[in-house]
Structure 1
Amino acid sequence: MQIPTERQPHWQSRKALLLITCAALTISVWMMSSGAVTGASVQTFQSSPVTRGNLEHQISAFGVLVPQKVQSLIAMTEGRVSQLAQRPGAMLEAGQPILQLVNPKLQRQLEEQELALQAQQAEFLLLQQQLEQEQLQLQHDLRLAQAEQQLLQTQLAAKQELFRQQIVSALDFAQSEALLTQAKQKVLLAEEKLKGFVSSSQNRLAAAELNRQRAEKQRDIAKQDVLALAVSSEISGQLIALDESLKPGSQVVAGQALGQVAESGQLLAELKIGAVDAALVKPGQAVTLNIKGKPMLGEASWVSPNVVDNFLRVDVALLSDLPDTARANIEVKADINVGTQEQTLLSDRAAYIQKPQQRQALFVWDASSALYQRREVLIGSLTPKQMQLLDGVKAGEQILLQVPAALLNNEVIAPEDLNG
């Protein structure tokens, strides 16, 4: 008799299969982790082939937009600040008030000068009237003297005929001649008086006019002082600076610098480059600027002869219309195109090469020894990504780009030294 065997339940078979699968996954994950750790200890290194091509050499620069024309705001008179109408960054029209000062003393002086001018004007008019009256009187006296002379001359002519006929005596005729001579002297005297009066009256009027003009000038000065209490710019542009100490109630003295206004649309880029690139930049080179994300063409207009804090200043004239966002003191970035070297030896830039136009050590792959050998190479131009190799290497050779600091003075470097 055959005894039947008891079959395992279905759920127990599935449980065993699940345990086996989990164990296999655990072993796989452990093996992969071990391999990753082992692989992480291996360092890779980079090299670049020497090729022949064109090098577009650009130098990166940074800086700000600066105005070409700036007007300084100078207080022309003293006063107390009553209102600040504008703040730095505001766009202004010529003559638009920026801040208002008050000075009651200046207002009183203006009123006094107005009265003084009116008094001088009245005196001038009065003098004119007086001189006109005096001139009329002198002209009248002259005409009377001339009439008297004419009458006596007629009488003398008549007596001369009577004297010839011996009707009048010689004494009577002589008296008539004497009277005519006196009349002629009166006419001459009246003419001299009138002539002298004309000259003197002109001088008196000139003196009175000078006094009137002086009073008018004093009035204008007082008026300008009052108008100067409203501080404004003579040019349209942007208010780029305002004395931070200015506030309502603060005192301002004559000659005090209050701020600056930059003429709108007249900006240039004031850039800085590293001193190592100083010999490469010259006026006239093309420049591509980035102003608030918008590209703009420019041209180097001036290169400073002095290096300050390891930077060289380069001014760039803008050749295209400024974007609406362009303002003075906005930061900009730029690339200066210093030239193109055609069909020259190039490679990717080695991290340990920092200075252009110098002979420096590079590590070049030597296939026969399977080592990177130290070699003196004349470095030409440098860009952020490439370097020009003037001599010491050939096209097709490999340049080691990354070298640990501890190996920089070695004569040779083995690949395993880089991976260790």
Structure 2
Amino acid sequence: MDIQRELKQPARWKKLSYVLPVVVLALGYYAVQRFTGDASYFVDRETVVTAKVEQGDFQVNVRATGVLKPAEIRWVAAQVSGRVEQVLVKAGAEVTVGQLLLKLSNPQLQRELEQARWELEAARAENNATIVALESQLVELDNQVVSAELGHQAEKLKLDAETLLIEQGNATVSQLDYQKSQLAVKREQQRWQAARQKALKMRAEIAATKAAQTARSGLLENNLRRMQEQVDALQVRADKAGVVQQISLELGEQVSLGGSIALLASQQNLYAELQVPEVRVQDIQIGQSVTLDTRNNEITGTVARIDPAVENGMVLVDVALPASLPADARPELTVDAQIQVSHLSNTLYVRRPTYAPKSTQIQLYKLDEAGRFAHKTAVALGQVSVNRVQIVSGLSVGDEVIISDSSDWQDHAEIKLN
């Protein structure tokens, strides 16, 4: 005989036991979803740099580095050969016109100078003796002229007296004596004229001799002056005021004629030589304003020249500077420069991200309103300045984006900032 069992109904909570895990899983998923969202990458907020999009005037600048260069620079060359005996200045020293830079020694030049001086003195003494001798001869000739003139006058007086007696019919004077007197007058006149010609010739000879002596003395004086200048050139002096950039010689070193001694540069007339990346030089034009930072002062100049050549990815740009410069402006001083390329009015811009080429489209991570998540957003860029970039599209005023390096999570569309 079968015994009928009494069936017991299971408790209600046991019937609903499967619901609890589902609820727990749902709550967990909600909590995880609320915490992580759609983010597939987590980033420490302290490691990122963000910036907000702004709107307003945007100055487009190109940054460059360079040095101040002297517009007037020249080498001081050796006028004579010699050995460096003393160096009186060093590179960086300010010198004035005529200031002694260094001393050279050359004993041969000293000996040649003394010889030239003695040659000039000997020539002067010889010239003086020659002129004295010639003038003595001239005195004798002048005496002969006077004697001949007196003889002529005496014979002329005698002839005149005899002529008068003959005209009076006085027979005391014979015709023969009268003719002899006429001949004597002619003879004395010729002797007087000959003496005068000799005296004139002597004066001409003395004048020619003096001219020749003057020319020879001038030649010797020029030679002495040249030798003196060469000896003086052993004292090398600055021919212009400026700053010594370089001294090419050391103590005891031999320098030949025309050899380089010192490089002098004017400290007042300077220009800036900048190195601009070739990718930015296309924005630069002559006449644009440039601000130079010397670490202590700022100098405003203008672009004066753009080198057509590219070297190591850089282009040289010369900047003209005003005549009045700060006291710390010196040749070879390193400066930072900002070249003002253009000015944009009422445009969107943001601090320049790590990678932001001009006129391109890049991907930036834009933060949500809470600042917990960042979504990858396509952003079109325009003009690029030193530390800001123009936003053409993709962002609005007030949007906050990550501008630091995001290459580690570029494959993720959304990240979470912890």
- Fold conserved (TM > 0.5)? yes
SS in 1 for 2:101: strand
The structure-2 alpha-carbon separation of the partners of 1:40 and 1:194, relative to structure 1 and needing over 3 Å to count, comes to: same
8 Å contact kept, 2:48–2:402: no
Q: Which residue number corresponds to residue 221 of structure 2?
A: 216
SS in 1 for 2:279: helix
Deviations 1:188-211 (A, max 9, x none): 323332333333322211211222
Read off the aligned partner of 2:250 and give its amino acid letter: L
Using the alignment, how far apart are the partners of 2:106 and 2:91 within structure 1? 25
8 Å contact kept, 2:365–2:402: no
**What is the CA RMSD across the aligned residues, in angstroms?**
3.6
Q: Deviation at 1:260?
A: 0.9
The structure-2 alpha-carbon separation of the partners of 1:214 and 1:45, relative to structure 1 and needing over 3 Å to count, comes to: closer
8 Å contact kept, 1:362–1:399: no
Question: Superposed, which structure 2 residues align to 1:87-126 within 5 Å?
Answer: 87-126=90-129
Q: Deviation at 1:383?
A: 0.6
The two structures have a TM-score, normalised by structure 2, of 0.75
Question: Superposed, which structure 2 residues align to 1:226-237 within 5 Å?
Answer: 226-237=231-242
**What is the aligned counterpart of 2:254 among 242, 251, 255?**
251
Q: Deviation at 1:258?
A: 1.9
Q: Which residue number corresponds to residue 28 of structure 1?
A: none
Question: Superposed, which structure 2 residues align to 1:267-346 within 5 Å?
Answer: 267-319=270-322, 321-344=324-347, 346=349
Read off the aligned partner of 1:207 and give its amino acid letter: A
The two structures have a TM-score, normalised by structure 1, of 0.75
Is residue 2:80 matched to residue 1:67?
no
Using the alignment, how far apart are the partners of 1:397 and 1:365 within structure 2? 14
Using the alignment, how far apart are the partners of 1:399 and 1:197 within structure 2? 112
Q: Which residue number corresponds to residue 386 of structure 1?
A: 388
Is residue 2:156 matched to residue 1:153?
yes
SS in 2 for 1:225: helix
Using the alignment, how far apart are the partners of 1:170 and 1:97 within structure 2? 94
Q: Which residue number corresponds to residue 200 of structure 2?
A: 195
Q: Deviation at 1:320?
A: 5.6
User: Which sits farther off after the overlay, 108-117 or 65-74?
Assistant: 65-74
Using the alignment, how far apart are the partners of 1:54 and 1:338 within structure 2? 14
Q: Deviation at 1:404?
A: 4.9
The structure-2 alpha-carbon separation of the partners of 1:365 and 1:324, relative to structure 1 and needing over 3 Å to count, comes to: closer
The structure-2 alpha-carbon separation of the partners of 1:95 and 1:162, relative to structure 1 and needing over 3 Å to count, comes to: same
The structure-2 alpha-carbon separation of the partners of 1:407 and 1:143, relative to structure 1 and needing over 3 Å to count, comes to: farther
**Corresponding pairs, count:** 369
The structure-2 alpha-carbon separation of the partners of 1:40 and 1:341, relative to structure 1 and needing over 3 Å to count, comes to: closer
Using the alignment, how far apart are the partners of 1:344 and 1:128 within structure 2? 98
Q: Deviation at 1:115?
A: 1.1
Q: Which residue number corresponds to residue 83 of structure 1?
A: 86
Using the alignment, how far apart are the partners of 2:342 and 2:149 within structure 1? 99
8 Å contact kept, 1:372–1:400: no
Read off the aligned partner of 2:291 and give its amino acid letter: T
Read off the aligned partner of 1:220 and give its amino acid letter: R
The structure-2 alpha-carbon separation of the partners of 1:45 and 1:239, relative to structure 1 and needing over 3 Å to count, comes to: closer
8 Å contact kept, 2:365–2:376: yes
SS in 2 for 1:66: strand
Read off the aligned partner of 1:103 and give its amino acid letter: N
User: Which sits farther off after the overlay, 141-150 or 98-107?
Assistant: 141-150
The structure-2 alpha-carbon separation of the partners of 1:106 and 1:374, relative to structure 1 and needing over 3 Å to count, comes to: same
Uncovered stretches (5+) of structure 1, i.e. residues with no partner: 1-34
SS in 1 for 2:236: strand
The structure-2 alpha-carbon separation of the partners of 1:373 and 1:335, relative to structure 1 and needing over 3 Å to count, comes to: closer
Q: Deviation at 1:230?
A: 2.0
Read off the aligned partner of 1:236 and give its amino acid letter: A
Uncovered stretches (5+) of structure 2, i.e. residues with no partner: 1-35, 369-373
8 Å contact kept, 1:127–1:205: no
Q: Deviation at 1:164?
A: 2.0
SS in 1 for 2:309: strand
Using the alignment, how far apart are the partners of 2:291 and 2:153 within structure 1? 99
Is residue 2:243 matched to residue 1:238?
yes
Deviations 1:215-271 (A, max 9, x none): 22222222222222222211222211012x512x33222222122122342322222
8 Å contact kept, 2:94–2:244: yes
**What is the aligned counterpart of 1:135 among 131, 134, 138?**
138
Q: Which residue number corresponds to residue 360 of structure 2?
A: 360
Using the alignment, how far apart are the partners of 1:237 and 1:254 within structure 2? 24
Q: Deviation at 1:406?
A: 8.6
Deviations 1:34-76 (A, max 9, x none): x9xx96468868576474x322222222222222222312222
